[in-house]
Amino acid sequence: MVRAFLLSLQQLGDPPILRVLAMSLAITLAVFAALGALLWWGIDAALAGWAWHGALAGLAATVVTVLGAWLLFRAVAVLVVGLFADTIVAAVERRHYPAALTSARPVSVARGMRMGLASAGRFVAVNLLMTPVYIALLVTGVGTAAAFFVVNGWLLGRDLGEMVAARHLPAAAMRDWRAATAGQRFVLGLAATGLFVVPLLNILAPVIGAAMATHLFHGTGR
């Protein structure tokens, strides 16, 4: 896993990966900016009869947007990167696994979008279901963080792994592949979840995670 991480870091300067990083960041920021604007409009309309309603609406929208960005950044970032994941995987394969690149089946934008939406939906749904558990574990001091890492490591390992597997495996083979690589993908997911909670590195986490998943799929970087 350390080798996969180091190899992925070394390739961050590749032009295709830089383009994906720039586009994914721009789209992610645009999503949260649009959310903030909609919140301001809605709150401003609801408080129309109040004094200083514009300022109150702006403050409330800012607070909610920042909180939403903190809670949902992972879901939105993985959704957006899912659109461009094929470019990241192809760049890694071009440099390190040229033989695999020749037999790969590019993932369409539509399929990447479906995978990204499914990933975001699972993240939101599972973490909402786990919220009572997270709250109950607060008394342990570390239980909430541990549960969060386990749950999201499982989710993220599945999502990142499938971004790569979709290029190389037919649908009928995916179930067996998931069973055979469950442990490996869980470790990958834990590593990627760790990146998401580190300031600044969390911006790079989806791109680094997709690159790491490529190395692990092809059997190196453990």
Question: How deeply is 149 buried, as exposed, middle or buried, from its count of CB atoms within 10 A (0-12, 13-18, 19+)?
Answer: middle
Q: What is the pTM of this model?
A: 0.81
Q: How far apart are CA 190 and CA 212, in angstroms?
A: 12
Structure tokens at 180: 């055979």
pLDDT score at 69? 65
> Span 2-8, mean pLDDT?
88
Is pLDDT at 57 greater than 80 in this prediction? no
Q: Supply the mean pLDDT for the chain.
A: 84
pLDDT score at 106? 84
pLDDT, one tens digit per residue, over 94-138 is 999 999 888 888 888 788 888 888 888 888 899 889 989 988 998
Structure tokens at 49: 């009869």
pLDDT score at 51? 62
